[in-house]
Structure 1
């Protein structure tokens, strides 16, 4: 975190922390925040925005930088005095200190995977020559920067495994620089791609790869300017980026984003176009075996942004797709793309459980299903006849299961709340499973129980919730309730050292599968977006009420937490039910719902939130926007806001403005603080030491204000 400088002290309020023995610490004075008379009149309503100046980039605006420093001084001093801060940071360091492997990617006879020995700030990247080969280090991001905030963001081996393209992320930003290694020598080639963002890397054999990029931003605006005019390019190895071939763009529709993926057999390239974050897209196909003097020609497969269409794999002329057209819980279809008129043949129909993914491995179609937010994997032949199911040990989540037609080998991970991700090698023909990596951790998974309950929301909708606690737990305990509720994202069981630290301290953890996510398909998502967004907050509030009414948590022991869209969730719920919540952590949240579409990726979110410029959407957004609905004159629970100075996904101005408004309002004497990390973004790429430091602070704050007393060490 930043430490205050002498220059930053000028104009900052005198800060004093008072703490009586055995009582909650309080903030005697917050740093002064300049308030202006900035207002907008929107659809006849006068909207005050007194802290708009805090939207400015902290890297270039000295006043904003001084405000950040002053806030961090107050927050750092407060957190340092909490009795459990040191305990949680020590515990987190022990819980994170275990070997972690990534799911191997197979290319030719080579296997590529990430590795972290435990407390490495960034994971390394290895290759094996053959299954029985020794791991050979290819990339060590820990050598890239002094503060370890430069990360390996993505990797893509070429078809034969001869080359490796990889993406570099600096300071947590969404911007990527793509480079290429010669795998035999480990030497870096001269290829370098700039201004890549929200892109995959799809190889065409060993010759080159497809990627997506945006135009270079104007000076100093790379962390704030809107992302328009994304284009797809082809880069041939050994040539400069300036020579890259433009594959697809829509200058007449600058809001459209585009990506290109290549099928495993190298036959087809699919251009995926969308206008936002909703799962609706157009799809075009390129026969990569046919190229004339004008390059490749794209054929329209699906036009109109009405449904989701995701290519799975191809077997010659026939391509398999996953779609929610006429199937809110998805189905799998196929078509011969060489025919002049496409005829869609259904292979796997929609069922009661949503399809969350599919791939062709060997001669099997492997379909992943979501059963009450937990994973299943079912085998079919290529005509859609069910042939078996992957045996899983318990409630949990699957990752991986990629592969290609003709090769029965695949890898997958399995994780749950009490089980770090183990990685397995599977032969889908024989069903034989081998352990590739089984973590050895500093706790016994059997000491913790995972249960799933169902409760009714305000409108009677049945909502699922996972509850995790020690098996020998008796009676209520301070409970950390997490939620997200948006963008069709499913919240499934998974291991987290931070959650385990809360459990080891004696607390209970709960995860509510509220509307807006994808746990039950398109209808569940639609029920929590746009005009239905209030359902998300109602579901989360009902989860908190259930935990208190049924004796899971203590009367004053409910902490809530969420990040990004989940940070919005926390801010809105604190405004709507401050009496229910006993402590809150709103992380990297979208807090100004009237201006979110003005920065970086914010414009994509209109699919879930709506357009502030449209009156009907504005009325909905105005009603729940955290920044605009703080209830002065009402006692609020303690709130810790967390963000980062270089977050270019949800710009930190959201959190800055919300915190300034919260500190200025008459909302009681509990602390309302903001913790602002430096050289960090929305979350990805954050070095391990910063993760330990940040979450140690957050857990200590929530523990203190819910009465969770950590055991002696």
Structure 2
């Protein structure tokens, strides 16, 4: 292990190596970087008759506890920082992103006890603040200001829920981007925090049970030194009564005989039922249980089974009287709406709205109406129907975009929703549910002309003939002139997650600089239901990579981007995507950003939440799955002697979702390989986690670094 003085000398040497290169006017184009030396171990293991080398396994160690890993991070960041700071467009991108993100942003309001609660960011605040109004038109009053919680702005307000009477606010705190949550309660009238505190909550809903307490989900207190890397087991639902310590919390539900199950608990909007959904992985398959809260005093919690087999998705909608409403894909891959009356002697699910060609994402009951959110070719469509399922009206949206929200409860006269698109930051609307009339609640004042941009949805052909949708956003004048523009292609393709249109200040900075943006809706996602998801996971995972490669080939063939002008980006499962396609088609891409990626497919299930991902990836210890994973694992398939595109890996030292060891090992292997003269760097953020809760200043800095890097190697000109 290096001494402190030795470490300082190695960092200095790495920085001087980059500085020396910078004296040449063409250094960034033609010279090879002198990367920090990374120790290699002679570690080889046998897996189903194949010898698998893992020379960088030591980089899996927690940077908080391992000085050698911390030293490696420091040396890599020094080289990367020096390189990125020499890029001429870096400062311009930072200024442009700052300008484009500096607008007043509101969250969806929640009504409770005549009070309206909502978040607001004035523009450049690191974290959004939480406000309350007495009545819809009341004067806003600041309740919570997360910007005062940490000097670096990296402690965030995660989720929050007012009690039904609006007197208390339950909220969760996220620190440094971690998945762990700390729960607190606020007295709304005084703004003072109660002494109640709950620790080790994770992957949890928070919901009030009456006005006296709340339910949440947590894991056992982790053993010392394992909180950020240890596997998560023994999830359980607890009830906390206000004014009592956490060790007095009541266990509501757990499955010690099935330690792998997670349990999500929701209270229906009318406060009648507690619904617990249990699942073992990332697949949308749950067991469902319920507690009649009107009988809780007499019966205890005593959850009753409603759905015994975890074979389908059950999305809770609401309860009306003794009826529970769900959106489900049971016998309906594109989902349908059903209801069950628990007062019947033998309750049975009854269909209210049947399956359609479009994907039914969710439903809510507002007043005496149902609001149905559909996804059609990855864009939103909303419809209002009666409780009998008969159509009342469509909700007209302004083009290809995403509508979200529509929360409320039976009897409410109003609901709020947000609409956004690639050229439209989220605007908040209030809708009168009886008339369907919408009026603005909060509309952003933007600093660019959205009319300059053309948003298209195109369908291209993948390797096996499958038609895949892709959004393409570019300057209208450039499109009309047939001008090819350096293009940033984004993808994900996994876990039944749909990519839909939305605004990003970072992407808009790319567009304003003269680039084009494309987002491919790859198989493995949720855009078309179960079939689409199944076609891109497990043994079919290669389809995802083929779809993404075909998207890049299409953009070049159609003259949208010039050859040598295509950059790619993806995060988490999308980081895996980027790593895999760079290995498979390094000739196709000019530059790549692999963010917080799953890069070692033979050991992903050994850390934190990784064990859940076997639903999409399979089990590394099963030979059939191992054979598939081995073929595309980014870490294990780097090819020496092949010219790779410029690669910038981004991660965070406190990411406890996809632990940073994935990115560390992949980068070390890529730098060791003889993979061309373009830079292969890693940018390691501090206290940023997997992405959520990231403060605005870190968003700006990271976005500027990534765009400057991609612009350099894809030929995007200087921003105007």
Query: TM-score scaled by structure 1?
Result: 0.98
- Residue 639 of structure 1: aligned partner: 647
Greater helix share, 1 or 2?
2
Any idea what SS the aligned residue of 2:477 has? coil
- Residue 8 of structure 1: aligned partner: 7
Shift in Å, 1:557: 0.2
Shift in Å, 1:107: 1.1
| Equivalent residues of 2:380, 2:403 under 8 A apart | yes
Q: List runs of 5+ in structure 2 lacking aligned partners.
A: none
> What CA distance in whole angstroms lies between the structure 2 residues aligned with 1:329 and 1:632?
44
Any idea what SS the aligned residue of 1:14 has? helix
CA distance 1:13–1:118, shift in 2 (3 Å): closer
- Residue 273 of structure 2: aligned partner: 268
> What CA distance in whole angstroms lies between the structure 2 residues aligned with 1:94 and 1:404?
38
> What CA distance in whole angstroms lies between the structure 1 residues aligned with 2:357 and 2:663?
40
- Residue 568 of structure 2: aligned partner: 560
Shift in Å, 1:220: 1.5
| Equivalent residues of 2:200, 2:221 under 8 A apart | yes
| Equivalent residues of 1:172, 1:679 under 8 A apart | yes
Q: List runs of 5+ in structure 1 lacking aligned partners.
A: none
- Residue 707 of structure 2: aligned partner: 699
CA distance 1:183–1:6, shift in 2 (3 Å): farther
> What CA distance in whole angstroms lies between the structure 1 residues aligned with 2:445 and 2:413?
29
Q: How many residues align?
A: 709
Shift in Å, 1:379: 1.2
> What CA distance in whole angstroms lies between the structure 1 residues aligned with 2:656 and 2:5?
28
> What CA distance in whole angstroms lies between the structure 2 residues aligned with 1:126 and 1:220?
37
Given the alignment, which residue of 127, 130, 139 partners 1:134?
Answer: 139
Summarize the alignment of residues 111-510 of structure 1 with structure 2, pairs less than 5 Å apart.
111-292=116-297, 295-473=300-478, 474=481, 475-510=483-518
| Equivalent residues of 2:525, 2:533 under 8 A apart | yes
Shift in Å, 1:338: 2.2
Shift in Å, 1:202: 0.8
Shift in Å, 1:711: 3.2
> What CA distance in whole angstroms lies between the structure 2 residues aligned with 1:332 and 1:133?
37
> What CA distance in whole angstroms lies between the structure 2 residues aligned with 1:239 and 1:33?
51
Shift in Å, 1:342: 2.2
| Equivalent residues of 1:13, 1:32 under 8 A apart | no
> What CA distance in whole angstroms lies between the structure 2 residues aligned with 1:294 and 1:315?
22
| Equivalent residues of 2:130, 2:144 under 8 A apart | yes
CA distance 1:10–1:219, shift in 2 (3 Å): farther
Any idea what SS the aligned residue of 2:407 has? coil
- Residue 589 of structure 2: aligned partner: 581
Bigger CA drift: 286-295 or 315-324? 286-295
CA RMSD, 1 decimal: 1.3
Any idea what SS the aligned residue of 1:53 has? helix
Any idea what SS the aligned residue of 1:326 has? coil
Q: Does 1:21 align with 2:25?
A: yes
Any idea what SS the aligned residue of 2:93 has? helix
Shift in Å, 1:49: 0.3
Any idea what SS the aligned residue of 2:649 has? strand
Shift in Å, 1:43: 1.2
Given the alignment, which residue of 530, 541, 566 partners 1:533?
Answer: 541
Spell out structure 1 runs of 4+ moving beyond 6 A. none
Any idea what SS the aligned residue of 2:662 has? helix
Any idea what SS the aligned residue of 1:106 has? strand
> What CA distance in whole angstroms lies between the structure 2 residues aligned with 1:685 and 1:44?
44
Q: Does 1:512 align with 2:514?
A: no
| Equivalent residues of 1:160, 1:205 under 8 A apart | no
